Structure 1
Amino acid sequence: MAIFKPWLFILLPFIITAPFAFTYYRKKSMGYLALVIGQVDKVENSTVYLYPNKIIINNLQIISKERLRYAEMTKHTRNQYIGSGMHSPRESFVIHIGYIDVEGKNMTKAIVSRENDGQGSDYLRFCEELNSLVGYVAPKGPTLPHEI
């Protein structure tokens, strides 16, 4: 027989909202606009912070806002065979950040997510925030049939 436990209804909302509150206050105290975790320069679990005036990669590499050019996101999907004729879709996301390095050359840095890690919306928000910060508008391709 189930026993009514009123303390459960008081404690349950705190348990559910605690991770969201922690993330919000951490973001507010550190001052970053967006955060993604992925592979950068063959280093797994790299943390990339987007601040209003710079990008910081692994707390080691800094790219200032003046040198940032654009950010483009792509999604890669592949089907992995899991047995008995079944396939499982595997998704990963890649952000390409275009910037000018210290020597004045155009460079690109790629941030690759792990497969099926659920960070697609974080990658998209990071890309949109960075593009709005630098004023980049992605070129639209032709919508009418045309010869190439």
Structure 2
Amino acid sequence: MEIQDFRSLLNLFEGVHMGSNRDRLLWGLNEHVGFTVKSVKDKLEEIGYSRSDFAFMWNEWVPKKVSILAWHVGLERLPTLVELAKGNVNFGSDLCPFCGDHAETVEHLFVSCSLGQDVSQILSMWCGLPSVYAFSVRDFLIYTGRRVSVGRKQRFFMQFV
């Protein structure tokens, strides 16, 4: 049996000629240049994949970990119960642990959850800022990103957010 398998393998290589050139990797999208990020971007645009129009505004006086959290929120890349369930990490229910009314998504936690809205209202009042009414997480981040001239309490609010 093994001899027959070996002969079958040799038959597969019939007609294959090995050159003396050095082996090299070829990138299917651009064989002459090799792999480039630009070739991937061009291919993604060609097949209709569009980049996100979300541009996060970094803030120097907010702690880095808060900025990174806000950036992940804007990209909707937080490990919410819904996202975890997509990766087969189940906790039984994907309902929001704070209100129990809706599935726990980034949008729900930061915009439509009653607890999140109450916390935002209280902080806004304490800081002397107008109430934040956002229809999406990005609306909220855009609003907070436009607050340029702020006092100590307003900075606290932005750091909290």
TM-score range, shorter chain: under 0.3
Query: Per residue, is there more strand in 1 or in 2?
Result: 1
Q: Which has the larger radius of gyration?
A: 2
| Richer in helix (by share) | 2
Q: Which has the higher contact order (CA 8 A, sep 6+)?
A: 1
